[in-house]
Chains A and B, each alone.
Chain A
Amino acid sequence: MIQASGLRKVYGETVALDGVDLHVRQGEIFGVLGQSGAGKSTLLRCVNVLERPTAGTVTVAGQELTSLTGQELNRARQRIGMIHQHFALLSSRTVAGNVAFPLEVMGVAKPERERRVAELLDLVGLSGKAGEHPARLSGGQKQRVGIARALAGNPSVLLSDEATSALDPGTTESILALLRRLNRELGLTILLITHEMNVVKSVCDSVAIMTGGRIEESGPIRELLARPGSRLAAELFPLPVPEPGTVTVTFTGQADEPVISHVVRKFDVDVSILGGALEEVAGSSVGRLRIALTGDESGAALSYLRERGLLVEVAA
């Protein structure tokens, strides 16, 4: 749905994007995770060409945006929704007026506009607030207006620029749940950028980890976690640097099986648990356990764990 290849963005001496490839499939929620300054915001802005990349191409829904300018680009942007960290609502307009704005831009006639605004406000649960000004709304309500506004043009893609970073944890949850619902009900493809692992954990299907203008790893979350040396796993389960000889076991989906207990019973080994955590990620349980194995049958025990489909990494 979104395909970016070889994206570079250079401001003077600073390289903000250093050859980024991104592939977001239709109907998924794709998260770009990174610290501030990693280039994720520039990446998002390149997707709807708010920033024109120095090199590389962006294709959204089959249309190459980087080759468009002027009116053609504006028309293409009308089919891409965007929500913002600080909501970016027009303070001089009411809630309904804000949602109507993109429809005015698109030249939708007034009766149709009013019908659509009512429908959109209903969708985000703000029907009672149509006549209020944004200054009187809470952060979560403002972002709901932002979302309704972003959906006005029936976009196939929604871009989210740190949409929950200015919100408290409870409100963040409810906005993420709304995004999840829109993703499922409308089949909306969402590309979001965030610095919060929590956001990735609770809504994303796929993730790209970004550092210094490059994507370090990217793909479906389940696949990434099952990959040896995964940055995502290391970030998600912040275990200390392993001592040589210790074993890190990653469970993806088998977290409720008593594998460790099986190992101890089947083989002549002792297991000491050094650390571990269990997380709910992309709708399933994922766990990581740091253990030390001692005993003659350690090797066999490790093979057994691998056969059970667990990712077993032995620190050298």
Chain B
Amino acid sequence: MTWDEMLPLLAEASGQTLQMVLWSTLFTILFGLPLGIALVGTDRDGLFPSRALHQVLGLVVNVGRSLPFIVLMIAVIPLTRLIVGTTIGTMAAVVPLTLGAVPFLARLVETALREVGRDVVQAAQAMGANRTTIVAKVLLPEALSGLIAGLTVTVVALISYSAMAGVIGGGGLGDLAIRYGYQRFETLLMIVTVVVLVVVVQLVQMLGDTLARRLSRR
């Protein structure tokens, strides 16, 4: 296989990976962040304690976390059809990717929010701040550095999960590596794909680390 043959393939696969990761990251933040806030908030000493809700949310997150991604992807096919209208293709992969990453991010958000001192929250309560204000102006800004670090780990995990999207015709770099590199013995393409993935993950991690460090004021 020559470079001229490989480049269009790589470009197309990179585009698909980018598409999957961007959309699923967006939806993961949309659902994972509130879920993480709810996990902390419903806890015994949280802002809106509810034992029952806390246990249900914890269970949901744990079930989500314990399913291997490849199994999850197959298991949610009916849901994917409902949301996207089709069960194959790049956008169809966004549904299982999001479902897989939401519990993951939620746990990381939970950890980051727990790092915010209880005394700071109490001080805000003593100033007469309501719960929405405390979440928006105390918890999230104070935990921002940790949240960015958690999001970085999640994006890297999403890039990794997206390699399996080939199973449902989602395409992407991982799929390229399997179809050409493994099944057609195109060793060079395999190596190039791996290098591209490593570089992308490095860039994401560096960007995340830099942002997290800049935001840390401790």
Contact = CB atoms under 8 A, between A and B. Distances in A.
Interface of A: 48, 50, 71, 73-78, 80, 82, 84, 86, 88-93, 101-102, 104-106, 133-135, 149, 153, 159
A113 to B, nearest CB: 14
Interface of B: 117, 119-120, 122-130, 133, 137-138, 141-142, 144, 215, 217-218
Contact of B126 (A75, A80, A90, A106): A80
B163 to A, nearest CB: 36
A88 B215 contact: no
A74 B218 contact: no
A84 B127 CA distance: 12
A77 B141 contact: no
A92 B141 contact: yes
Contact of A50 (B120, B122, B138, B215): B122
A311 B159 CA distance: 81
A6 B119 CA distance: 27
Contact of A88 (B123, B129, B144): B123
A92 B123 contact: no
A71 B217 contact: no
A92 B142 contact: yes
Nearest to A159: B126
Given A86-B119, A88-B123, A90-B142, A76 B128 contact: yes
Contacts of A89: 120
A281 to B, nearest CB: 30
16 contacts: A48-B126, A50-B125, A74-B128, A74-B130, A77-B128, A84-B122, A86-B117, A88-B119, A89-B120, A101-B124, A101-B127, A101-B137, A102-B128, A135-B217, A135-B218, A153-B127
Contacts of B144: 92
A76 B126 CA distance: 10
Contacts of A80: 126
Contacts of A102: 127-128
A89 B142 CA distance: 10
Looking at chain B's contact residues, the main secondary structure is helix
Contacts of A84: 119, 122-123
Contacts of A92: 141-142, 144, 215, 217
Nearest to B138: A90
A78 B125 CA distance: 9
A111 B142 CA distance: 25
Given A50-B122, A84-B123, A91 B217 contact: yes
B126 A71 contact: no
Given A135-B217, A135-B218, A93 B141 contact: yes
Given A50-B122, A84-B119, A101-B137, A77 B218 contact: no
B119 A104 contact: no
Contact of A71 (B130, B137, B142, B215): B130
A185 to B, nearest CB: 22
A104 B137 contact: yes
Contacts of B137: 101, 104
A89 B119 CA distance: 9
A133 B122 CA distance: 20
A105 B133 contact: yes
A88 B128 contact: no
Nearest 5 interchain pairs by C-beta: A77-B128, A88-B123, A74-B128, A78-B128, A82-B126
B91 to A, nearest CB: 37
A180 B161 CA distance: 62
A298 B142 CA distance: 70
A157 B183 CA distance: 76
Most chain B CB inside 10 Å of its own CB: which residue of A71, A84, A149: A84
A50 B119 CA distance: 11
A88 B117 contact: yes
A159 B126 CA distance: 10
A89 B117 CA distance: 10
Contacts of B124: 101, 105
A91 B142 contact: yes
Given A88-B117, A88-B119, A91-B217, A77 B126 contact: yes
A82 B129 CA distance: 13
